[in-house]
Amino acid sequence: MTNPVPESQPASRPGSTPPVRPSLIKFLFLIGLVAVAGGIYYYVQSARQEQAQRAAAISVTRTATVKRGSLEIRMRLTGQTSARDYANVVAPQLRGPESGPMILLKVAGSGTMVKKGDIVAEFDPQQMKDHLDDTVDGLRDKENDVKKKKVNNDLQMENLQQTLRQAKANVDKARLDFKATEIRTEIDREVLKLSLEEAEAAYKELQTDVPLTKESQRADLRITEIAKLVEDQHVERHEGDMKKLVVRAPMDGMVVLQSMMRPGGEQVTLAVGDTLRPGQPIMKILNPKKMQVEGYINQSEISPLRIGQQADVELDAFIGSKYQGKVYSIGALAVSGGRQQYYIRTVPVRVEIMDPDKRIIPDLSAAADILLHAEENALVAPASAVEADGKDAFVFVRTPNGFEKRPVKLGTSNGTEVSLLEGVKDGDVIRVN
């Protein structure tokens, strides 16, 4: 038994298409509308996301602005500060070999400003003073020896003259006795003759002794006088050494004390009580208005340097400090770097500090940037922004649509910056690698 067909739905004929319901058409239309809206939304969101990614990429990219200005090429000289005008003060060279150790009794402190002739150091004089007193006593003894020798010589000469006068009287008496030979016997005459000859011989001998005695006395006195002169020079030497124990400043300037090695290997600044040897450095007195930077530059880099080139000087001890300087000395010969670097040759270079102040003292680590070349009114950009493709150079310039590759012509470079002759203009923003 077959089911009856509803009246509202007429039976379809065999082989015919069933009719489409209106609700299905509406459903399909809504689905299509949603798909079109979703596609439009996806396209808009993708475009926005791409634009945001491009903006983000541009924002995180390092950039720099091309500016017109001065491009400088400099060479750095590292070293330490020192004085151009100074005087070394050393422990006195004493003439007396028996002076003994020199103990520092007083010394001017580092940084003290002194005038020429001011006392800057004193050594303990007591030991030398005691020895000088002994030497002066010895000199007095030598002077007395000279006086005594003169008196003795005069007394000896007077005795000799007295003996000579007595011998002359004996000769005269013998002659008178010999004249009375007529009344004498032959034997008496012979005795008187012999007496006369003996008296004359003795007188002649004494006459010969007089000049010899005088010469002997003169030589003996000279020996005594020389001994006195030696002692006199001894006293004079120690008196001069006493004056040297007070050391005075040879010039106006600032005192910089030297250091010394104490027993045990400790290196300290000189102080009161230290024992010094002759000629040992005590201090430097320097003119703080004439300071310099001393350093060395490799011989392969020395060719661009010239005397008179300007420099900027910085001190490590004072952050941010900057002084004007100029090259005033370039060594004529290269020197070796020591035993470990014998074949590395460097040239000594000195840069004068033109505007020093009281903060600059010797032996501060310093650097001088020497100006080798300056290009004025140039378009300056970071060297890291320039890329190369073979012989061609180019940069990436920012535009509204992103970075645009542009060929450029390069000028002078100092390693960190480069001048661009063509391809960009002032104010362009370029990408930095």
Residue 10 resides in a domain: no
Query: Nearest CA to 273 among 112, 99, 93, 106?
Result: 106
pLDDT-derived band at 7 (thresholds 50, 70, 90) equals very low
Domain endpoint, select from 260, 286, 312: 286
Residues 338 and 417 in one domain: yes
Residues 277 and 383 in one domain: no
Residue 23 resides in a domain: no
Distance CA 174, CA 84 (A): 95
Residue 19 resides in a domain: no
Residues 168 and 312 in one domain: no
Q: What is the pLDDT, as a whole number, of residue 339? A: 62
CATH of the domain at 274: 2.40.50
pLDDT at residue 11 tops 50? no
Residues 369 and 413 in one domain: yes
Residue 8 resides in a domain: no
Query: Nearest CA to 389 among 404, 407, 403, 413?
Result: 407
The pLDDT tens digits for 176-191 are: 777 776 666 777 777 8
| Chain mean pLDDT for the chain | 84
Residues 312 and 421 in one domain: yes
Residues 174 and 231 in one domain: yes
Residue 172 resides in a domain: yes
Q: What is the pLDDT, as a whole number, of residue 337? A: 66
Burial class (CB in 10 A: 0-12, 13-18, 19+), 63: middle
Residues 295 and 171 in one domain: no
- CB-CB neighbours of 350 under 10 Å: 20
Write the CB contacts of 32 (distance below 8 Å, at least 6 apart in sequence): none
Contact 421, 407 (CB under 8 A): no
Residues 104 and 114 in one domain: yes
Domain endpoint, select from 244, 274, 307: 244
Lowest mean pLDDT among 192-196, 214-218, 380-384: 192-196
Contact 93, 393 (CB under 8 A): no
Q: What is the pLDDT, as a whole number, of residue 183? A: 65
Residue 57 resides in a domain: no
Residue 357 resides in a domain: yes
Q: What is the pLDDT, as a whole number, of residue 21? A: 61
Residues 349 and 391 in one domain: yes
The pLDDT tens digits for 108-129 are: 998 899 999 999 999 998 888 8
In sequence order, the β-bridge partners of residue 345 are: 336
CATH of the domain at 375: 2.40.30.170
Report residue 307 as tokens.
């005397």
pLDDT at residue 6 tops 60? no
Higher pLDDT, 287 or 182: 287
Distance CA 156, CA 216 (A): 11
Residues 322 and 192 in one domain: no
Q: What is the pLDDT, as a whole number, of residue 111? A: 86
The count of domains in the chain is 3
Domain endpoint, select from 244, 266, 298: 244
pLDDT at residue 18 tops 80? no
Residue 204 resides in a domain: yes
Residues 292 and 416 in one domain: yes
Distance CA 15, CA 5 (A): 18
In sequence order, the β-bridge partners of residue 381 are: 418
Residues 274 and 291 in one domain: no
Q: Could you tell me the residue range of the domain that residue 102 belongs to?
A: 86-121+246-286
Write the CB contacts of 129 (distance below 8 Å, at least 6 apart in sequence): 242
pLDDT at residue 401 tops 90? no
